Amino acid sequence: MGKIPPCLGVQTGNRNMLLGCFFIALVGIVLSAARVNGADPETAFTIRSFSVEGNTLFPGVVLQEVLKEHLGPKKTAADVEKARNALEKYYHDRGYPAVLVNIPEQTVQEGTIRLQVIESKIGRIRVTGNRFVTEGKILEGLPSLAPGKVLYVPDVQRDLERINRGQDIRVSPVLSPGREPGTTDVDIKVEDKFPLHGSLELNNRGTHDTTDLRLNALLGYYNLWQRDHAFSVQYQMSPQDLDEVKALAFSYTLPNPWNVDHQVALYGILSDSETAFGAGFQTVGKGQIYGLRYVLPLPPYELYFHNLTLG
């Protein structure tokens, strides 16, 4: 009987991605006894072919290639178990850790061994812990865990990276045996925060020909319409001389309609300043600036996320 590891590791290119947030315990799946009838465990027989049942994920010829080294004369029940292990490992190594391979009870006829592939599908899915992000929004961001799908680690990893990119939400799925045979239930554990953030800062970043102090205020809301839209506004002034620096900046960011992994940012600056005036603002004089930026996420490194901004 196949076993599911508690952590999922998948090689993608040269990068190993661990889904440590998964705790897989499919002990509730009951499989037939893995034995071949009519033979003592040490009795030798010839294996001329394998019949793989239940597979929908890979072409049959690919699986036969995996199993071909286990063909031949003078085979025993232990060799059949090695073939089963090799086939199950093939699925797991390619991102399908919930797939099990069983040796159904059988009598060897004409040298053909039957192997049964059980592609456990997602059954019930439940979202808990969310307060400010709706259940529908969370499920929309995890299409790889939709009911009826076979668990595929690279897709799950991609969805988790995208949804956890937000500063106010952390999502981790926990898998358990399904209520229905051949299914895996998913509990989506959510930790979220109110997406309104603000800051007020007083610093001494003035230039040599202006007063020293700068007062910065920032206010932003980062989940408008439950669609990952963000709006922020920033104001900066020189409290010691109100005529030196007065600037208002705003930005509106939304997911790219044709690629939700990318973002489009609209921004503007309204200024009345006698000098370049610090963090977030690089303009001199009185005027207005408007612009458009395109933000592309770069591959994450461990717990760090990076973006490339164009514009």
Provide CB contacts within 8 A for 117, sequence distance 6+: 52, 53, 54, 55, 87, 91, 99, 100, 101, 102
Whose CA is closest to 112, among 65, 145, 80?
A: 80
The pLDDT assigned to 27 comes to 36
Whose CA is closest to 242, among 269, 220, 199, 273?
A: 273
Provide CB contacts within 8 A for 222, sequence distance 6+: 166, 167, 168, 195, 196, 197, 230, 232
* DSSP-derived pairing of the beta strands 259-273 and 229-237: unpaired
The pLDDT assigned to 245 comes to 86
Amino acid (one-letter) located at 57: L
Is residue 130 helix, strand or coil?
coil
Provide CB contacts within 8 A for 296, sequence distance 6+: 262, 307, 308, 309, 310
Task: List beta partners, residue 295.
Answer: 263, 309
Structure tokens belonging to residue 124: 């019930």
The pLDDT assigned to 7 comes to 35
Structure tokens belonging to residue 127: 């979202």
The pLDDT assigned to 34 comes to 41
Domain boundaries, the chain: 30-119, 196-310
Task: List beta partners, residue 74.
Answer: none
The pLDDT assigned to 172 comes to 95
The pLDDT assigned to 235 comes to 95
CA distance 261 to 161: 10
The pLDDT assigned to 275 comes to 60
Q: Say which CATH architecture domain 30-119 belongs to.
A: Roll (3.10)
CA distance 93 to 141: 25
pLDDT along the chain (311 residues), means of 10: 36 37 39 48 86 96 96 93 97 95 88 95 95 95 95 94 90 91 93 96 85 94 93 94 89 90 92 62 72 86 76 76
CA distance 163 to 159: 6
